[in-house]
Amino acid sequence: MALIKNEAVKFKHKHLLGIQSLSIPEVNYILTEAENFVEFNRKEQKKLNLLNGKTQINLFFESSTRTLSSFELAGKRLGADVMNMNVSNSSMKKGETLIDTAMTLNAMNPDVLIIRHQDSGAANLLSQKVNCSVINAGDGWREHPTQALLDALTIKLKKGKIEGLKVCICGDIMHSRVARSNIYLLNMLGAEVRVVAPATLMPKDVESLGVKSFTNMSEGLKGSDIVMMLRLQTERMQGSYVPSTREYYEFFGLDYKKITKAHPKAIIMHPGPMNRGVEIDTTLADDINRSVIKEQVEMGVAVRMACLKIICGNKNK
């Protein structure tokens, strides 16, 4: 076990708000910890007491299935008491501000708050106002650090490395926190990152984040080792950003024809939930030789366990 060696790495953060604030050793520390949990999670007995007596609150302002259940399971497997706040039915609807909600929860002395919010920067704001640790489970279009970490872990386990790989992220880059966190993380770990999107869904000056951008999918896919597809939200399909689902699929949907441009052994990833037939061919999505979408979900629990363990066990905070 690499655990002992890992303890020597200083993880100096109280919160996990984004990939941007992490260093390479810190990322590797999380990934190595997570790798251990992958093994552990496959065992029949998967309960630890690392977070015994700790309280974890999942504060989700946006609906979520997989991230919420992944964090809940991660906390429970580590022994924490986990509470899910269903914010859509709560006082936020009655006009209470994010800060007020945070202060209320803070008064209940949790050890870690997991927050998802529709506004970029919400996790940062929250972290300034509460005493406990905050883990960002997605803020607006800005960051979704645990998703990027689980993607990195998936790539690492599938390809044995990240450095030097060509990663092509395709889809609605503009509105995607997953894309941003992945760009930061994969760049940091030495991958060559490309982004593919119609011009209307490409963020301005995206190349200054250190990526190459393409509006032609075949060019972007050329020689890629990893193809990461993003979800296109329904409300953006009908003429506001792209003319139609049909046209989008024609030019930006991943199918067996387009994937031939990528490396023959390229793997396909998707953060979910998928729009089958919009951004990805349904058979291709289920192709076990190509798609690692299910593995990503499995890695998600492991990565979140690692993050919780490190953040909650961090005595430097």
Partner 1 sequence: MKEKCLVNSRIIDPKNNIDEVGGILIDSKGKIKAIGKKVTKDSVSKETEVIDCKNKISIPGIVDLRVFVGEPGYEYKENFRTLSEAALSGGVTSVATMPNTSPVIDNVSILDFVKRRAKDKSTIKINPFATLTKGLEGKEMSEFGLLQIVGAVGFTDGIKCVQSNRVMDKIFNYSKSLDTLIVQFTQDNELSLDGSVNEGIVSTRLGLKGIPDIAEKIIIERDLSLLEKYKNRYHISTLSSKASIPVIENYKKKGLKFTAGVSINNLSLNENDIGDFRTFLKLSPPLKKEEDRLSLIEAVNNEIIDVIVSDHKPEDEESKRLPFQQATTGASGVETLLSLALELHHNKKVKLNTIIKALTSNPANILKIDAGHLSVGSSADITVFDIEKPWVLKKENIKSKSKNTAIEGRRMQGKVEKTFVDGVLLFNS
**Choices 33-41, 117-125, 155-163, 252-260; region in contact with partner 1 by CB under 8 A:** 117-125
For 196-218, give the DSSP string. Answer: E--GGGSPTTGGGGS-EEESSHH
3-state SS assignment for residue 43: coil
> Residue 310 carries which side chain, given as an amino acid letter?
I
- Give the x/- contact pattern for partner 1 in 178-217, rule: CB under 8 A: --x----------------------xxxx-xx--------
The distance of closest approach from Cβ of residue 186 to partner 1 in the complex, given in angstroms and rounded to an integer, is 16
Question: Which residue in the set 62, 119, 247, 255 belongs to the binding site for partner 1 (CB under 8 A)?
Answer: 119
- Give the x/- contact pattern for partner 1 in 88-107, rule: CB under 8 A: ---------xxx--------
Q: From CA 31, how far away is CA 78, in angstroms rounded? A: 17
**Choices 75-83, 139-147, 262-270, 294-302; region in contact with partner 1 by CB under 8 A:** 139-147
> Residue 196 carries which side chain, given as an amino acid letter?
V
Q: Which is nearer to partner 1, 9 or 99 (CB)?
A: 99
Could you tell me whether strands 81-86 and 212-214 are parallel, antiparallel, or unpaired per DSSP bridges? unpaired
The distance of closest approach from Cβ of residue 212 to partner 1 in the complex, given in angstroms and rounded to an integer, is 15
Question: Which tokens belong to 15?
Answer: 């919160």
Distances (CA, A) of 23 to 10, 19, 81: 10, 8, 30
Q: Which is nearer to partner 1, 211 or 237 (CB)?
A: 211
- For residue 22, give every residue at least 6 positions away whose Cβ sits within 8 Å of its Cβ, in sequence order, or none: 13, 145, 188
Residues that bind partner 1 (CB under 8 A): 97-99, 117, 119-122, 124-125, 139-143, 177, 180, 203-206, 208-209
